């Protein structure tokens, strides 16, 4: 089966100073399962509660008795935990380091005291604009300090933030604004990425012309590039004009632990993206504790997570986890490969970064540029590396370990999902021996299990679908506005368990190896794209009759998007039309959803009942330019017209 993996034992330097040793991991893990109330009750003491919780865990995944409630008589405010409580001891400590897109632009350091003031001012401004507890606020910003400030200002007044990734187009913004019923949008004139401008305000303007977006009363515009933008009064207001004169103190809202903190949309296998809803108490307990334990956090660390705040990694491990822990977190506006492939490593040297957390896709892209750009820098400040977003191939792992970390720094490969709130499976650097490509072992309170397609539990070594048997505090509570969809998506496939949508193998040491999605979700550069979303964007073009989209292995992105398109009768395929369709998807969803390959399909392989057999399309896409014998496609006898497969194989694109 699988050859034994090389083991990288715990480093003695980590073992000597770690917060959690190997023995302690085992002891605490056992306690977390046997006495969850005692365990999480103690962990919850790490936060400042306005009213300490007396009830800890109240959860059941059984459909007849379904509930997920944590700390549910507790009261707290997330922004107070991220800011106010640090003022006395860490007021002058840097909370955020801002490194702009251009290396020539000055970096900024924002202390906890200053961050507190800026959050309070915006929170006061939001209240003055009529935003209150429970109202939804859309945040569509570049990676600038105002993104974190906006999230925390919402949290301060009990408004529910909904961040939209800056790479999404008008349609995607409109869908999310409409589904969430947002009252206000915080955006910027433009974003900057690799020296190029992103027309954020113009995208918001276009989104607000689309149906369903009438709930929006106000658009606050941060002056970032200072480009001239259309301001539509009285709807549009300059951020600085409404914020500058606000008082620097702001009474925080008392929130119940189970009150919503934010909504974040993520793709699933069917339909439109789901509004994943996270609540205040459990989420904050979980992200602050995992951030401290997994990254073995120390007071003087300079911590850098390269994610965008538009994704959950940015929420949990740039903003809420690090700031709740009083850490110094770096906010980076740029990209890894601009102005050149040593930018990451230069930023690490410039700010003496100690903990660096990035995605396998970035590592693979930089690995392609060779060791030169890395060797040109020192990276001596680094002590710990992390990855997230997709399985990391052992080759990339070793390059990250040997070249970037000089074989000095452990790598924590952290497996989790938007729905999870925080890390569920990961090494703890002072406790866990590493195996390249394995996320290793479950975090406290997390009970993974592997089941076959019938739901039968696989014990010991084996491979199947990954489920989680019981709740953890950071878990999502519902799909915003559609609780039934929440239950149906995650708890009906294997009743009594949370189904992750991932395949997984467990080895003889009990280590978990995530093998990737088993549903119709594609993981492109660590970003989730639903095949149904891309298909519906394609068929919205008036020359397209039908489309089927699958993932295929991609050297840098992990998975790429492969689209099969059937044109309406009378339309002729052409290179120009191909380019037009790719552009159409970019405009409909955003650049991350643009197909890497688009193949004309005179017909799609369907069963007699009309269901598209994606398994076959996946095989053809995966084969790329290599030979594809008919028997490699599996059983095609149930197809209504088996001959369509031959023509697809003949005409396949060579990725």
* CA 33 from centroid of its chain's CA atoms: 27
**20 or 396: CB nearest ligand WT7:** 396
- Find the shortest distance in angstroms from Cβ 517 to ligand WT7: 5
- Find the shortest distance in angstroms from Cβ 136 to ligand WT7: 20
* Helix then strand then coil, % of the chain, to nearest 5: 35, 25, 45
- Find the shortest distance in angstroms from Cβ 525 to ligand WT7: 10
- Find the shortest distance in angstroms from Cβ 553 to ligand WT7: 14
Length in residues, the chain = 655
- Answer yes or no: is 447 a known binding residue: no
- Find the shortest distance in angstroms from Cβ 520 to ligand WT7: 13
- Answer yes or no: is 345 a known binding residue: no
- Find the shortest distance in angstroms from Cβ 264 to ligand WT7: 9
- Answer yes or no: is 351 a known binding residue: no
Q: Which of 186, 248, 250 is nearest to 223 (CA)?
A: 186
- Answer yes or no: is 528 a known binding residue: yes
User: What is the rounded CA–CA span in Å between residue 324 and residue 85?
Assistant: 9
- Answer yes or no: is 433 a known binding residue: no
Burial 507-532 (b: 16+ CB within 10 A, else e): beeebbbbebbbbbbbbbbbbbbbbb
User: What is the rounded CA–CA span in Å between residue 525 and residue 556?
Assistant: 8
- Find the shortest distance in angstroms from Cβ 148 to ligand WT7: 18
User: What is the rounded CA–CA span in Å between residue 250 and residue 15?
Assistant: 43
Whether the CB-CB separation of 383 and 355 falls below 8 Å is answered with yes
- Answer yes or no: is 485 a known binding residue: no
Q: 296: phi > 0 → left, psi -120 to 50 → alpha, else beta; which? A: left
- Answer yes or no: is 544 a known binding residue: yes
Whether the CB-CB separation of 436 and 397 falls below 8 Å is answered with yes
**316 or 342: CB nearest ligand WT7:** 316
Whether the CB-CB separation of 565 and 600 falls below 8 Å is answered with yes
- Find the shortest distance in angstroms from Cβ 295 to ligand WT7: 14
Residue 90 phi/psi, 5-degree rounding, is -130, 25
Residue 87: strand, helix, or coil: helix
Residue 123: strand, helix, or coil: helix
**301 or 390: CB nearest ligand WT7:** 390
Sign, CA torsion 587/588/590/593: negative
Question: Which residues, including other chains, have CB under 8 Å from residue 594's CB and lie 6 or more apart?
Answer: 561, 582, 583, 585, 586
**316 or 346: CB nearest ligand WT7:** 316
Structure tokens at 447: 């009970």
- Answer yes or no: is 615 a known binding residue: no
**79 or 465: CB nearest ligand WT7:** 465
- Find the shortest distance in angstroms from Cβ 371 to ligand WT7: 24
**151 or 544: CB nearest ligand WT7:** 151
- Answer yes or no: is 352 a known binding residue: no
**391 or 590: CB nearest ligand WT7:** 391
Positions touching ligand WT7 (CB under 6 A) are 266, 312-313, 388-391, 413-418, 439, 500-502, 514, 516-517, 523, 526, 528
- Answer yes or no: is 37 a known binding residue: no
Report which residue's Cβ sits closest to ligand WT7: 418
**144 or 529: CB nearest ligand WT7:** 529
**219 or 355: CB nearest ligand WT7:** 355
User: What is the rounded CA–CA span in Å between residue 439 and residue 523?
Assistant: 17
Which residues participate in the annotated binding site? 193-196, 313, 389-391, 413-418, 502, 517, 525, 528, 539, 541, 544, 586
Which residues participate in the annotated binding site for Mg(2+)? 539, 541, 544
Which residues participate in the annotated binding site for ATP? 389-391, 413-418, 502, 517, 528
Which residues participate in the annotated binding site for CoA? 193-196, 313, 525, 586
């Amino acid at each position: 089966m699988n050859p034994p993996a090389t083991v990288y034992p715990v480093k003695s330097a980590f073992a000597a100073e770690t917060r959690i040793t190997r023995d302690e991991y085992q002891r605490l893990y056992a306690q977390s399962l046997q006495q969850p109330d005692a365990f999480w009750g103690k962990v919850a003491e790490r936060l400042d509660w306005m009213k300490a919780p007396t009830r800890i865990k109240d959860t059941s995944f059984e459909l007849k008795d379904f509930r997920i409630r944590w700390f549910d008589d507790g009261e707290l405010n997330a922004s107070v935990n991220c800011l106010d409580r640090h003022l006395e001891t860490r007021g002058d400590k840097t909370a955020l380091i801002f490194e702009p897109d251009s290396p020539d632009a000055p970096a900024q350091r924002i202390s906890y005291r200053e961050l507190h003031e800026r959050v309070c001012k915006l929170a006061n401004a939001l209240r003055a604009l009529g935003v209150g507890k429970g109202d939804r606020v859309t945040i569509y910003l570049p990676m600038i300090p105002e993104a974190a400030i906006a999230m925390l200002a919402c949290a301060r007044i009990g408004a529910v933030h909904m961040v939209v990734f800056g790479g999404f187009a008008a349609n995607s913004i409109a869908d999310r604004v409409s589904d969430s019923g947002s009252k206000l949008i915080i955006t910027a004139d433009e974003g900057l990425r690799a020296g190029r401008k992103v027309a954020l305000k113009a995208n918001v303007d276009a989104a607000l012309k689309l149906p369903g977006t009438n709930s929006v009363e106000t658009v606050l515009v941060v002056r970032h590039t200072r480009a001239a933008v259309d301001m539509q009064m009285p709807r549009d207001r300059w951020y600085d004009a409404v914020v500058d004169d606000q008082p620097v103190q702001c009474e925080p809202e008392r929130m119940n632990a189970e009150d919503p903190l934010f909504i974040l949309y993520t793709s699933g296998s069917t339909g439109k993206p789901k509004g994943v809803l996270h609540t205040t108490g459990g989420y904050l307990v979980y992200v602050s504790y995992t951030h401290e334990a997994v990254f073995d956090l120390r007071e003087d660390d300079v911590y850098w997570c390269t994610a965008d705040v538009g994704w959950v990694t940015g929420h949990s491990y740039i903003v809420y986890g690090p700031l709740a822990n009083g850490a110094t977190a770096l906010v980076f506006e740029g990209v890894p490969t601009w102005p050149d492939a040593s930018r990451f490593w230069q930023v690490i040297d410039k700010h003496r970064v100690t903990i660096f957390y990035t995605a396998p896709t970035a590592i693979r892209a930089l690995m392609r540029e060779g060791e030169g750009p890395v060797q040109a820098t020192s990276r001596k400040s680094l002590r710990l590396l992390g990855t997230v977003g997709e399985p990391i191939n052992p080759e990339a792992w070793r390059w990250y370990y040997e070249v970037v970390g000089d074989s000095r720094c452990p790598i924590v490969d952290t497996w989790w999902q938007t729905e999870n709130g925080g890390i569920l499976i990961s090494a703890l650097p002072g406790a866990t021996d590493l195996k390249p490509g394995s996320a290793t072992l479950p975090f406290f309170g997390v009970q993974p299990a592997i089941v076959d397609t019938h739901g039968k539990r696989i014990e010991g070594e084996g491979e199947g679908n990954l489920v989680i048997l019981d709740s953890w505090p950071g878990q999502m509570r519902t799909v915003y506005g559609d609780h039934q969809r929440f239950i149906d998506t995650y708890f009906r496939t294997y009743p009594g368990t949370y189904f992750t949508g991932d395949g997984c193998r467990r080895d003889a040491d009990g280590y978990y190896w995530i093998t990737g999605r088993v549903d119709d979700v594609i993981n492109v550069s660590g970003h989730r794209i639903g095949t149904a979303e891309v298909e519906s964007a394609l068929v919205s073009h008036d020359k397209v009759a039908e489309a089927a989209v699958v993932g295929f292995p991609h050297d840098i992105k992990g998975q790429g998007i492969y689209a099969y398109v059937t044109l309406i009768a009378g339309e002729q395929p052409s290179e120009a039309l191909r380019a037009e369709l790719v552009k159409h998807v970019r405009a409909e969803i955003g650049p991350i959803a643009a197909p890497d390959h688009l193949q004309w399909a005179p017909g799609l392989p369907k069963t007699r009942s009309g269901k598209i057999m994606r398994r076959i399309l996946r095989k053809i896409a995966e084969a790329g330019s290599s030979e594809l014998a008919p028997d490699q496609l599996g059983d095609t006898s149930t197809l209504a017209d088996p001959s369509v497969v031959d023509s697809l194989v003949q005409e396949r694109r060579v990725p």
